[in-house]
Amino acid sequence: MYCLLMLMLALPLVQRTIPFFEETPLNGYFVSPRKPSVTMDSIFDGTFQDAYNNYYEHTIGFRPLLIRINNQLAFSVFDTALANGVIIGKKNYLYEINYIKAYKGWDYQGDSAIESHARKAGFVYKELTQAGKTLLFVFAPGKATFFPEYIPDKYMKRPSGKNTNYQEFIKMFDKYKLPYIDFNQWFVQMKDTASYPLYPQCGIHWSAYGVALATDSLIRYIEYDRDIDMVDFGWNGFDLPDTLRKPDYDIADGMNLLFTIPHYPMAYPRTTFSSYEGKIRPNAIVVADSYYWNIFGTGFSSRLFDDNNFWYYNKETYNPAWPATRNTNELDMLSELIKADVIIIMATDANLYQFPYGFIERAYNTLSENRQQGGSLWALSKMDTEIEQIMKSIDADPQWKAKVMEKALDRKISYDEMLKLDAIWIWENKKN
């Protein structure tokens, strides 16, 4: 027994030194500490010992397995989730605490703050509309709003706030006549009649079926508002697998349990897209939270939009044509608004406390300054469109294109840069 006990105690050290068992990494975001370097000062002031202890604890053998055992015991025995912000609801419906806060109104921005956002959004909407652009606000659904019946009683018994961000934004957007699609209300209305689940039991985002319905609605709105014919989108039947596909188990994945939580099956539409021929793919900026990943990450938006930009929380910008993400603060707001045909600002109710992510504030300041200087977004957009048409004409003419490439080599700049310079020169001379 003594030898067996010593062997068990030694196993993590053996696994750490000479890994003999393939371990499944933990899910979720975390930063693994690096092995600290040794200095005399760090030894004597104790910082090396603390840092090395932290490093050693994170690299011990079988650590992921031991954490999963611990998390499974907490879940199965004590009905507790050892994951940041995760709440276990009735019948093992999983929530994140921010969704419950939003449903109860505990994260309310305040009347004046929301009206200020709506008032500035009204100015931005007017400027963009005059320039022939589409601005649309989208309220994505929230899990606590969709499944309030499974929220634990200890949260439901606590007093609610005087209002919710969702209710006040709807009220102010109606007051200032701002365009929006309310998927939050629509999903609740369809809850008992939808053909397939609109929300997973163990995930926080809308289902693939819900995403397909929302994508179809967005396309129809843009087509109607811009009087265009976009790429046709639809689905041909459903896959009904025994296992869940990403991200329908994302909360439970983050809990790092030993065993899968029992859940109901989900449906996955077999989506279809028409060819681009004869269709219009507008340039888009979508400022949104993680709910838009289900549209952007699946490749839906790349087929629907030409210049396809996703401004994640208005902090990081993703574009499939770029080699890497960019910081939105590095982008020139006026130039981005000129290029865009469609601007969508989306949030689930759990993120309305930070909506519209500072985008409207920045657009308002940019457009106000441009207006004060006598500029017009419509005129700038018209100029940009005409220059783009000239660039396409040059690029389509083999002889003209060859001359531009020669000039680019002489100036040691890229072909695209030289192409734009020539197009601007032609546009300016044509204007004069």
Q: How confident is the model at residue 35 (pLDDT cuts 50, 70, 90)?
A: confident
Do 42 and 129 belong to one domain?
A: no
Residue 274 counted as domain residue: yes
Residue 269 counted as domain residue: yes
Do 301 and 168 belong to one domain?
A: yes
| Rounded mean pLDDT, 411-430 | 83
**Res 381: pLDDT:** 62
Residues 298-352 have pLDDT tens digits of: 999 999 999 999 999 999 999 999 999 999 999 999 989 989 999 999 999 999 9
Do 296 and 168 belong to one domain?
A: yes
**Res 37: pLDDT:** 85
Residues 159-174 have pLDDT tens digits of: 999 899 999 999 999 9
**Res 374: pLDDT:** 64
Residue 238 counted as domain residue: yes
Do 15 and 115 belong to one domain?
A: no
User: pLDDT higher for 425 or 177?
Assistant: 177
| Rounded mean pLDDT, 94-110 | 96
Residue 180 counted as domain residue: yes
**Res 300: pLDDT:** 96
**Res 389: pLDDT:** 80
Residue 256 counted as domain residue: yes
Residues 76-90 have pLDDT tens digits of: 999 999 999 999 999
Average pLDDT, rounded, for the chain: 91
pLDDT of residue 395 exceeding 60: yes
Contact, 145 vs 186, CB < 8 A? no
Residue 78 counted as domain residue: no
Question: Residue 414 is part of which domain span?
Answer: 378-431
d(CA 49, CA 57): 12
Share of the chain above pLDDT 90, in %: 69
Q: How confident is the model at residue 9 (pLDDT cuts 50, 70, 90)?
A: confident
Residue 70 counted as domain residue: no
Do 218 and 285 belong to one domain?
A: yes
Do 382 and 345 belong to one domain?
A: no
Do 217 and 333 belong to one domain?
A: yes
Residues 338-393 have pLDDT tens digits of: 899 999 999 999 999 999 999 999 999 999 888 776 666 656 666 677 777 888 88
Residue 220 counted as domain residue: yes
Q: 400 phi and psi, to 5 degrees?
A: -65, -40
3-state secondary structure the chain: CHHHHHHHHHHHHHHHHCCCCCCCCCCCCCCCCCCCCCCHHHHHCCHHHHHHHHHHHHHCCCHHHHHHHHHHHHHHHHCCCCCCCEEECHHHCEEEHHHHHHHHCCCCCCHHHHHHHHHHHHHHHHHHHHCCCEEEEEEECCHHHHCHHHCCHHHHCCCCCCCCHHHHHHHHHHHCCCCEEEHHHHHHHHCCCCCCCCCCCCCCCCCHHHHHHHHHHHHHHHHHHHCCCCCCEEEEEEECCCCCCCCCCHHHHHHCCCCCCCCCCCCEEEEEECCCCCCCCCCEEEEECHHHHHHHCCCHHHHHCCCEEEEECCCEEECCCCCCCEEHHHCCHHHHHHHCCEEEEEEEHHHHHHCCCCHHHHHHHHHHHHHHCCCCHHHHHHHHHHHHHHHHHHHHCHHHHHHHHHHHHHHCCCHHHHHHHHHHHHHHHHHC
Do 357 and 385 belong to one domain?
A: no
Share of the chain above pLDDT 70, in %: 97
pLDDT of residue 10 exceeding 60: yes
Residues 46-75 have pLDDT tens digits of: 888 888 888 878 778 788 888 999 999 999
Q: How confident is the model at residue 43 (pLDDT cuts 50, 70, 90)?
A: confident
User: pLDDT higher for 16 or 199?
Assistant: 199
Do 362 and 391 belong to one domain?
A: no
Do 148 and 175 belong to one domain?
A: yes
**Among 367-376, 394-403, 408-417, whose mean pLDDT is lowest?**
367-376
Do 121 and 217 belong to one domain?
A: yes
Do 128 and 202 belong to one domain?
A: yes
**Res 285: pLDDT:** 97
**Res 427: pLDDT:** 76
**Res 378: pLDDT:** 57
Total tally of structural domains belonging to the chain: 3
pLDDT of residue 148 exceeding 90: yes
